[in-house]
Amino acid sequence: MEKAEIRADFFRSATEKMLRDGIFGQENSEENQVAAVTKALRRAALPYPLFAARLTVQRLFPSYRDMREIPWYAFVDGRPWLLPAAWVYRFGYVLRHKSARGRAVLTQPLTEKKQMEQRGRALSEWGL
């Protein structure tokens, strides 16, 4: 096994990120979401437009497993046939109470593409 030399700037940038994100990585949740999406993009091996479309569909229609874990959709637990009703309820609630945030979440793969590319380059430079 070859020993790879790690540059000093790796330690500097990694330390900056750890300190900026807090002990559990929750301080900058938007940046952490971008990091999670970037990691999923790297693992997906799909062209970016297809990946973004798939992610948007998954966000519009969460799986039964995901929906039953959310307390206000607990009525689907044990009743997978109610999943479409939970989606309709979710759409109505988001449109009425969180329309701006909902739009931002759905368009994140498109609006934050540049930030995801920067994150991907950083991961590549770090050898991760």
Q: Could you tell me the residue ranges of all domains in the chain?
A: 8-126
Helix (H, G, I), strand (E, B) or coil at 114: helix
The pLDDT tens digits of the residues spanning 27-43 come to 555 555 666 666 676 67
Helix axes 8-21, 113-126, angle to 10 degrees: 130
Query: Which residue type is seen at 119?
Result: R
The pLDDT tens digits of the residues spanning 84-116 come to 998 898 888 877 777 777 666 666 666 666 776
Quote the pTM value. 0.48
| Dihedral angle sign, alpha carbons of residues 71, 75, 84, 40 | positive
Which is nearest to 115 in space by CA: 43, 32, 21? 32
Rounded to an integer, what distance in angstroms lies between the CA atom of residue 104 and that of residue 18?
Answer: 26
